[in-house]
Structure 1
Amino acid sequence: MLSVYEGFFSGGARIVHSDVVLGLVEGGQSHQVLSIHGEVRREATRQRMQDDACYRSLTAGGVGVTSLDRSAGLVDGSVAASVFSGPELAETARAMAGADVILSLKEQPLALLNQGGLPRRPVVVCLHRSDPENQGPALDELKAAIADGTVAACVCCAESTRDAYRAAGIPEDLLHVIPNGVDLLRFRPDPAVRIAFRAPLGIPADAPVIVFAARYATMKNVPLFLRAARAWLGREGGGHVLMCGAGMTDANPALWADIQVAFEGDLDVAERVHLLGVRHDMETVYAGSDVVALTSSSGEAAPLCLIEGMMCGAVPVTTDVGDSAAIVTGHGFVTPPDPGAIALAWSAAIAGRTDFAKTLDASRERFSRTRMIAAYADLLDRVDASYTGQVREELRPGLGGQEESGALGVLEVAEGDLGV
């Protein structure tokens, strides 16, 4: 298998996909990853592939990762996203030639995979949003790849994703829902970790804590979260708020401007907002928190922060976007996009945390990484078997009535026919 990433940068989709790849490797499949960009600048943060936690976990797990070494969003700029050089296409062809099935992390890499002259391989597109119309030209690239017969299936991480892409004109028979899952051994409540995490931040063991794990992006509605935080902190004299993710640092002037507007210069209260940036120990952050909050206005499908936070014992409170309500129902609260209502829900979540813990514990298997990976493996096996069968049928007349024995022989002939 070959996975093609737009790049390595902070975000739930890359975390889920990288975990899927590692899980499939653990199950015996062979995987490689090709990244279009070697570094990007997003959310006021320069993010190099080699520094990324997903890159490190993949390479540590024996997955080979290569890159076309493009740069995006940097001062020196980059060429147009849909224009690729001869060497870039040659590198892509080499990577594809060794794969039976290609996984595209979201639809953006299809701008590369749709280029002429590349090997023909079935592509499974992994979709992780609920707003295809806001993905620029990516939706058109997806439709072009489907029309060309390249796309064999689309994995939707949520029902809302399937509904949105179906409404956008993607054939329903290509859309398969595989809900996100997490490592239940890693993401779990841990009282000792909770205390150890809080101490360096000066947060008392009994203080109520809200965590907001998101990159600094418009869809996350950071101003709404901050207004809710101002209302809640003003009422909860001993409360603390944590903000994690790309752009959630002192170095982001846009975030500081949002904080100044939301807190109206009340620096005493604002001091209880902790900007933690990108963390590679989110299980620790969640275990140290009481509530995991999400205030997104669009784009979300099955937010990973809600699932990870819940599994660590933090009660989820979210706006109604994507599948968030379905994930949270019975485990936390869904709120309107109103700061006062959100603040009240945070307080109610903290008050009911003990009762919610029983429900969360009973539903852990629903959010299991094992279940997710098994579903991916089954779909990929079916795609591979179907493609191998199609190649066999196409080649049969030219084989003089003699079938090649096994998929490997068929694919080797297919590569020769296709000029790979």
Structure 2
Amino acid sequence: MNELRVLSIYEGFFSGGARILHSDVVRGLSGGAQRHAVLSIEGEMHREATRQPMSDDACYRALTAAGVPVSALRDRFGGEGREDAEAGSREGGHESGGGVFSRSELAATARATAAADVLLSLKEQPLALLNQAGLPYRPVVVCLHRSDPENQGPALDALRAAVAAGRVRACVCCAESTRAAYVAAGIPAELMHVIPNGVDLLRFRPDAVRRAAMRSSLGIAADAPVTVFAARYAEMKNVPLFLRAARIHLGRDPGAHVLMCGAGMTAENPELTADITAAFGDAPGLLRRLSLLGVRHDMETVYAAADVVSLTSSSGEAAPLCLIEGMMCGAVPVATDVGDCAELVAGHGFLTPAEAEPIAAAWSRAAALAADFAPALARSRERFSQTRMVTAYGALIERVHQDAVRAVRPARRRTRTRAGVPYGA
């Protein structure tokens, strides 16, 4: 039996939950009945005040270590590849949905897609490339990870165009809030398939050794309440709200600590430092108990050290990976009511209004009740299994491929004649 060839298209490699999850799916499905590869439009991204070359990205390294071929159309963001694309546009290249692609980039894309049976688009942004005229037809599965399609710039228009053209054969929604939002935006409900996010349960689990080591490395006492905020520095994450809550929490509890990690969560980010000054200007001494950790590749250790995992987002979230990973490591979730957070947090932690005082109060309460929540968190582990998620993705990809094959076969059976000789049978 021939392997099913699947090509994933990424806008680029940069720190974020959607890329982590998708890369886990690709690694999980490779080597069995499916053969996966990844094509990234950009070879380097600059986001959240952080330069992120593809070769330095943890997902890229994990994929290539697993034997998954990964390539990029452009060497670096804003560099030679972008200049070549702009030149191609002037010389007759194509522009669609915010993307400008040169002839050489389209030729490379055509070769890559021709070698695949099914295409996976990580979010809707890569559809600006896949919508270009002249590319081989392959059924596309779009993997959607947000709950605010109207705030995605031209990407929603690119998704609508791909659906109208018949390229998109299915959309994976990581949450019910994602499905509802995209259906409301005009994407046909019959294309939507909800596959909840999952994580590696062997990696993300309570671990007393990691907990002790992480706390020791940061000078945090074994019994100190610790809250972790794992997010990239982006407007939707509402970092100023988190910092206002941290100011209240640290001022109220002299033993508490707060950890911030993710792209842009460093002192080198001037926007973050301005937010910190605004929140802690009257109490700079409290900052000794606020740690900026930046991008970490050992999140299982960070979460194991925490009592609480917090999310203060104002929009866009669907099923936040930080909450799931943190819960599986034993941290009690405290989140604002966005996306599917209410469902994720129910019975495991606390949902709060988007106000600093209630958030800070919930952190204290969650840390105090961590032992009481532990049984519920343990019982939910199977629900958040990565194996379940990967299996569901694999089945959907196979179904999309088989539907495409069945759609082509009747057309091939139809015969026409040229000079009395049947052809095309």
Same topology, TM > 0.5: yes
Confirm or deny that 1:374 pairs with 2:374.
no
* Structure 1: gaps (5+ residues): 401-412
Cα offset, 1:359, TM superposition: 0.4
Q: Which residue in 2 is equivalent to 1:17? A: 22
Residues 358-386 of structure 1 show CA distances to partners (whole Å, capped at 9, x for unaligned) of: 00001110000011011111111110100
Q: Which residue in 2 is equivalent to 1:184? A: 201
- Distance (Å, rounded) in 2 between the aligned partners of 1:297 and 1:75: 36
Equivalent in 335, 339, 356 of residue 318 of structure 1:
335
Q: Which residue in 1 is equivalent to 2:92? A: none
- Distance (Å, rounded) in 2 between the aligned partners of 1:367 and 1:334: 19
Confirm or deny that 1:333 pairs with 2:350.
yes
TM-score when normalising by structure 1: 0.93
Equivalent in 50, 65, 69 of residue 64 of structure 1:
69
- Distance (Å, rounded) in 1 between the aligned partners of 2:394 and 2:320: 22
Q: Which residue in 2 is equivalent to 1:46? A: 51
In 2, are the aligned partners of 1:127 and 1:161 still within 8 Å (CA)?
A: yes
In 2, are the aligned partners of 1:41 and 1:73 still within 8 Å (CA)?
A: no
In 1, are the aligned partners of 2:74 and 2:82 still within 8 Å (CA)?
A: no
Residues 8-48 of structure 1 show CA distances to partners (whole Å, capped at 9, x for unaligned) of: 00100000000001111154310010000000110000000
Confirm or deny that 1:390 pairs with 2:395.
no
Percent identity (aligned): 68
Q: Structure 1 runs of 4+ off > 6 angstroms?
A: 73-77
- Distance (Å, rounded) in 2 between the aligned partners of 1:69 and 1:204: 47
Q: Which residue in 2 is equivalent to 1:207? A: 224
Cα offset, 1:77, TM superposition: 6.9
Q: Which residue in 2 is equivalent to 1:55? A: 60
Equivalent in 269, 277, 292 of residue 252 of structure 1:
269
Residues 41-97 of structure 1 show CA distances to partners (whole Å, capped at 9, x for unaligned) of: 100000000000000000001100000115446899764742210100011011101
Q: Which residue in 2 is equivalent to 1:299? A: 316
- Distance (Å, rounded) in 2 between the aligned partners of 1:103 and 1:47: 23
* Structure 2: gaps (5+ residues): 1-5, 87-94, 418-422
In 2, are the aligned partners of 1:42 and 1:73 still within 8 Å (CA)?
A: no
Q: Which residue in 1 is equivalent to 2:286? A: 269
- Distance (Å, rounded) in 1 between the aligned partners of 2:69 and 2:261: 29
In structure 2, give the amino acid aligned to 1:56. R
Q: Which residue in 2 is equivalent to 1:407? A: none
Residues 125-165 of structure 1 show CA distances to partners (whole Å, capped at 9, x for unaligned) of: 00000000000000000000000000000000000000000
- Distance (Å, rounded) in 2 between the aligned partners of 1:184 and 1:35: 28
In 2, are the aligned partners of 1:41 and 1:74 still within 8 Å (CA)?
A: no
Q: Which residue in 2 is equivalent to 1:408? A: none
- Distance (Å, rounded) in 2 between the aligned partners of 1:344 and 1:362: 26
Q: Which residue in 1 is equivalent to 2:146? A: 129
- Distance (Å, rounded) in 2 between the aligned partners of 1:123 and 1:67: 19
Q: Which residue in 1 is equivalent to 2:3? A: none
- SS of alignment partner, residue 337 of structure 1: coil
Which region of structure 1 is more displaced relative to structure 2, 218-227 or 61-70? 61-70
Confirm or deny that 1:160 pairs with 2:186.
no
- SS of alignment partner, residue 355 of structure 1: helix
Which region of structure 1 is more displaced relative to structure 2, 119-128 or 264-273? 264-273
In structure 1, give the amino acid aligned to 2:37. Q
- Distance (Å, rounded) in 1 between the aligned partners of 2:130 and 2:316: 24
Equivalent in 96, 105, 108 of residue 113 of structure 2:
96
Q: Which residue in 2 is equivalent to 1:143? A: 160
Which region of structure 1 is more displaced relative to structure 2, 283-292 or 74-83? 74-83
Confirm or deny that 1:32 pairs with 2:37.
yes
- Distance (Å, rounded) in 1 between the aligned partners of 2:355 and 2:79: 36
Equivalent in 355, 361, 368 of residue 372 of structure 2:
355
Confirm or deny that 1:231 pairs with 2:248.
yes
- SS of alignment partner, residue 125 of structure 1: strand
Q: Which residue in 2 is equivalent to 1:308? A: 325
TM-score when normalising by structure 2: 0.92
Q: Which residue in 2 is equivalent to 1:406? A: none
- Distance (Å, rounded) in 2 between the aligned partners of 1:360 and 1:49: 35
In structure 1, give the amino acid aligned to 2:287. A
- Distance (Å, rounded) in 1 between the aligned partners of 2:232 and 2:272: 11
- Distance (Å, rounded) in 1 between the aligned partners of 2:79 and 2:108: 23
In structure 1, give the amino acid aligned to 2:306. S
